[in-house]
Structure 1
Amino acid sequence: MRLSQSPRRRPWILLAAGALGACGVAIAADPPTSYMPVVIKETFAAIKARMERDKPAVERRQRSLLEQRYDLSDQPVRGLRMSGGKPVQGGVRVRLPAGASWEQLAAMTPEQIRERDLFPAGFLPLPHPNHAEGGMVFPKFHIEAVKRAEQRDLTRFDLDFDLPDHFLPDFPAPIYLTTRPDLGDVSKGQLVTINNYYELFNGVLNPKQLEGLRLLVTPFAQQQFNQTEDRRSALPSRGVACLDCHSNGHTVAATHLVGDIRPQPFRHRIDTPTLRGVNVQRLFGSQRALKTVEDFTEFEQRAAYFDGDPVIATKKGINILDRGHQVHAMGEFQAILDFPPAPKLDLFGKLKPGASDAQKRGQELFFGKAQCSACHAPPYYTDNSMHNLQVERFFKPQTINGRFAAMDGPIKTFPLRGIKDSPPYLHDGRLLTLEDTVEFFNVVLQTRLEPQEKDDLVAFLRAL
Structure 2
Amino acid sequence: MNRKVLFAAGIAMALPMLSGAQVPATEDFATLTKRLQADKPTFAQRQQSLLAERYDLADRPATGTTMSRGKPVQEGVRVKLPSGTSWENLAALSPEEVKERQLWPAGFLPLPHPHHEAGGMIFPKFLIEETKQQTDRDLTRFDLDFDLPDHLLPEFPAPIYLTTRPDLGDVSQGKLVTLSNFNDIFKDILNPKQLEGLRLLVTPFPQQQFNAIEDRRSLKPSQGVACFDCHANGHTNAATHTVGDIRPNEHRHRIDTPTLRGLYVQRLFGSQRALKTVEDFTEFEQRAAYFDGIPADAARKGTNVLERGSQVHFMAEFQALLDFPPAPKLDVFGKLISAKASESELRGQAVFFGKGQCASCHAPPYYTDNLMHNLKVERFFNEVTINGRKASADGPIKTFPLRGIKDSPPYLHDDRLLTLDDTVEFFNLVLELKLTEQEKQDLVAFMRVL
- The verdict on how the C-alpha distance between 1:269 and 1:378 changes in structure 2, with shifts beyond 3 A counting, is same
Q: Tell whether 2:105 aligns with 1:105.
A: no
Between the aligned partners of 2:19 and 2:434, the Cα distance in structure 1 is: 43
* Match in the other structure for 1:125: 110
Between the aligned partners of 1:95 and 1:40, the Cα distance in structure 2 is: 40
Per-residue deviation, 1:206: 1.1
Between the aligned partners of 2:341 and 2:401, the Cα distance in structure 1 is: 21
Per-residue deviation, 1:229: 1.2
* Match in the other structure for 1:165: 150
Please give the secondary structure, in 2, of the residue aligned with 1:232: coil
Whether contact under 8 Å (1:219, 1:238) holds in the other structure is: yes
* Match in the other structure for 1:83: 68
Matching residue's letter, 2:298: A
Between the aligned partners of 2:238 and 2:21, the Cα distance in structure 1 is: 26
Q: Note the residue ranges of structure 2 that are not aligned, 5 or more in a row.
A: 1-15
Name which of 132, 152, 155 aligns with 2:137.
152
Per-residue deviation, 1:357: 0.5
* Match in the other structure for 1:21: none
* Match in the other structure for 1:431: 417
* Match in the other structure for 1:246: 231
* Match in the other structure for 2:260: 275
* Match in the other structure for 2:311: 326
Q: Tell whether 2:173 aligns with 1:188.
A: yes
Name which of 438, 445, 449 aligns with 1:459.
445
Whether contact under 8 Å (2:135, 2:180) holds in the other structure is: yes
Per-residue deviation, 1:33: 2.6
Name which of 174, 189, 193 aligns with 1:204.
189
Q: Note the residue ranges of structure 1 that are not aligned, 5 or more in a row.
A: 1-30
Whether contact under 8 Å (2:78, 2:422) holds in the other structure is: yes
Please give the secondary structure, in 2, of the residue aligned with 1:78: strand
* Match in the other structure for 2:7: none
Please give the secondary structure, in 1, of the residue aligned with 2:30: helix
Name which of 345, 353, 364 aligns with 2:350.
364
Q: Tell whether 2:293 aligns with 1:308.
A: yes
Please give the secondary structure, in 2, of the residue aligned with 1:77: strand
- The verdict on how the C-alpha distance between 1:35 and 1:104 changes in structure 2, with shifts beyond 3 A counting, is closer
Please give the secondary structure, in 1, of the residue aligned with 2:18: coil
- Cα deviation, 1:196-223, whole Å, max 9, x if unaligned, reads 0000000201111100000000000000
Q: TM-score, normalised by structure 2?
A: 0.95
Name which of 37, 40, 55 aligns with 1:52.
37
Whether contact under 8 Å (1:36, 1:312) holds in the other structure is: no
Please give the secondary structure, in 2, of the residue aligned with 1:440: helix
- Cα deviation, 1:9-43, whole Å, max 9, x if unaligned, reads xxxxxxxxxxxxxxxxxxxxxx9532645643111
Runs of 4+ in 1 over 4 A off after TM superposition: none
- The verdict on how the C-alpha distance between 1:39 and 1:73 changes in structure 2, with shifts beyond 3 A counting, is closer
Between the aligned partners of 1:441 and 1:356, the Cα distance in structure 2 is: 24
Between the aligned partners of 1:169 and 1:301, the Cα distance in structure 2 is: 24
* Match in the other structure for 1:230: 215
Identity %: 71
Whether contact under 8 Å (2:20, 2:249) holds in the other structure is: no
Q: How many residues align?
A: 434
- Cα deviation, 1:387-427, whole Å, max 9, x if unaligned, reads 00000000000001000111111000000000000000000
Task: Provide the alpha-carbon RMSD of the alignment.
Answer: 1.0
Between the aligned partners of 2:379 and 2:423, the Cα distance in structure 1 is: 18
Please give the secondary structure, in 2, of the residue aligned with 1:341: coil
Please give the secondary structure, in 2, of the residue aligned with 1:342: coil
* Match in the other structure for 2:404: 418
Matching residue's letter, 1:310: P
* Match in the other structure for 2:3: none
Q: Tell whether 2:245 aligns with 1:256.
A: no
Name which of 393, 397, 403 aligns with 2:383.
397
Q: TM-score, normalised by structure 1?
A: 0.93
- Cα deviation, 1:225-264, whole Å, max 9, x if unaligned, reads 0011120001000110000000000000000001100110
Matching residue's letter, 2:434: R
Superposition map of 1:372-383 within 5 A: 372-383=358-369
